[in-house]
Amino acid sequence: MVASAATVDGVFRALSDPTRRDVIARLTRRPASVSALAEPFDMALPSLMQHLGVLESSGLVRSTKTGRVRTYRLVPKRLQVAEHWLAAQRDLWERRMDQFESFANSMESEQ
């Protein structure tokens, strides 16, 4: 389950904006309509909708329209794309630290 570079790009890019992270954080709690999501921001509605577009095209969020209300919900699986990439780096880093430690230990035991 290795996400393509473009997918990872999109996810990290989407998360690099504080407005969008705030939207994600709120959708983590519950689904919400466009206007509910827009309410706390001092921003024109179309601007916020652009952010929603970025989130949706990154796959972090999905929306459906019922009547005149469009409801957004989180796609938690998509957050894993970022989590996995970070976990892979951590793993490598820890291996490196282990190597370094065993090297340091072998130096010590040779004295």
Partner DNA sequence: GATATACTAAGGTTTTTACCTTAGTGAGTG
Partner DNA sequence: CACTCACTAAGGTAAAAACCTTAGTATATC
Binding site for DNA (CB under 7 A): 13, 16-17, 19, 33-36, 42-47, 49-51, 54, 65-71
Site string for a second copy, 49-78 (x = CB under 8 A): -------------------------x-x--
- Chain centroid to CA 39: 22
The residue count for binding a second copy (CB under 8 A) is 28
Footprint on residues 8-37 left by a second copy (CB under 8 A): 8-9, 12-13, 15-18, 21, 24-25, 28-30
Residue 39 or 91 having the CB closest to a second copy: 91
φ and ψ at residue 46, rounded to 5 degrees? -60, -30
The item of DNA, a second copy, none sharing an interface with residue 60, based on CB under 5 to 8 Å by kind, is none
The distance in angstroms from the start CA to the end CA of the chain is: 47
Which CB atom, from 69 or from 87, has the smaller least distance to DNA?
69
H helix intervals, the chain: 5-15, 18-29, 34-38, 45-58, 76-109
Closest by CA position to 10, among listed 67, 73, 53, 45: 53
